[in-house]
Structure 1
Amino acid sequence: MVFLCWARPSPHEQRTCIDKSGDFNYDSKYRGSTVKPADSVQQDRELSDSGFSVNHTRVLVGSGCETFEKGKSALQNWRINSTRRHFGLNWAFVDPRTPIHTGVKFCVCVKELFPWLMMPLQVVYVNENRSPKKAVASFGFGSGTLSGHLLAGEERFSITLDENNKVWYEILSFSKPAHFLSVIGYPYVLLSQKHFAHASSLAMRQHLSS
């Protein structure tokens, strides 16, 4: 099953995609794996032996508590500002009204040549940590692919304020083809993932520096 739309998907079309999607399309033993540090995921032999590719991007986007809180708000609202979102580029978006809570299903809409692809996911976890003694904090969430998505896997978006008062934006994912279309075009899919991570990181940096 593939969810296609010839025009920019409306909220109704996105809801139909979500309602018709099935359960998670990857093994439950990998559910929540992206909550771990990137090095641990990249070195996970079981993931690689199961055919998953890991994609990781981590960029410095600013410094200070105020910057961290602004970045956290951007993630929570799927927004960078009124015209950009970390998932609201010209060719990829999520309905910004989607709440980021564990168990919430949503739809990523991606423009691929002529049709739009609608790909269903579900929030697997939301993770927030703060140190009571140091100005160290992090916020992130991971979402897993559902039946009807071209890929099988999980992706985490997070923002962190470290012990040196630096703020980092990070995207971590593991995935493999879940449909013959993605099998055929998997090299292109991997390039698209890297392109999205770069564009999203740039949008976040621009938002936090504005």
Structure 2
Amino acid sequence: MTRLISAGRDTLSYPDRGATARRPLPAGYHHLHHRTRIGRGQAVFEAAGVAVTTFHAHRTSGMRVRTDIGAAAAVRPGTRAVVGIGLGPLRISAPCEVIWTVYAPTRAGFAYGTLTGHPESGEESFVVDMDADGTVWFTVTAFSRPAGWYTRLAGPVVPVLQRTYARWLGRHVRRLAAAA
């Protein structure tokens, strides 16, 4: 296993571990819930699930993702990742750890929690669901608050950027699922 997180930066930066799997989300954070219709049918569900659970959707959306598993491997609880946000010298490294996963006949996805050194503090889940009628949905659910001086300084801009990225990621999941 490649060590992606330096010593002292490998602990969760929030106390509400696993809260994206429950409702209501914890108080004291900004909440995000964004749902995108992906398509219909088993093939679409399976392709979307693979795109999400291997970080392929994140990578094709422009994020740099390094994990302690292979690029095509599905995440599991404990998987560590560093997501690169931004461009060139303005790129910010965001360390996180997969908190929970779900691999079921009509549901696939995971949540990661922020580690010390992440610009935000909280958790985000990425889940693909298939309804009984075959409709496939991609949902991003998150709770977060600023952890770095620059995210505190950015104030209300950060939630807008998070929502914009959730929409952008949804479009990428839809495109990847349609191409399969």
Tell whether the structures are fold-level matches, with TM greater than 0.5.
yes
Quick one: which amino acid aligns to residue 69 of structure 1?
A: E
Question: Among 48, 54, 70, which residue is 2:31 paired with?
Answer: 54
1:89 equivalent to 2:66? Answer no
Which runs of no fewer than 5 residues in structure 1 stay unpaired?
Answer: 1-11, 80-84, 131-136
Paired residues for 1:178-197 under 5 Å = 178-197=147-166
1:119 equivalenced with 2:90 (yes/no): no
Q: In structure 1, what is the equivalent of residue 55 of structure 2?
A: 78
Q: Which residue of 2 aligns with 1:209?
A: 178
Shift of 1:112: 5.5
Counterparts of 1:161 and 1:57, CA distance in 2:
16
Task: From 102, 107, 125, give the equivalent of 2:82.
Answer: 107
Equivalent pair of 1:108/1:118 in contact (CA under 8 Å):
yes
CA distance in 1, matches of 2:31, 2:87: 22
Uncovered stretches (5+) of structure 2, i.e. residues with no partner: none
Q: Superposed, which structure 2 residues align to 1:121-200 within 5 Å?
A: 121-130=96-105, 137-200=106-169
Count the aligned residue pairs.
173
Partner secondary structure for residue 124 of structure 1? strand
* Secondary structure in 2 matching 1:109: strand
- Which residue does the alignment assign to 2:21? 35
Moved over 4 A (4+): none
Post-superposition shift, 1:104? 1.4
Counterpart among 10, 18, 23 of residue 11 in structure 2: 23
TM-score, normalisation: structure 2 = 0.87
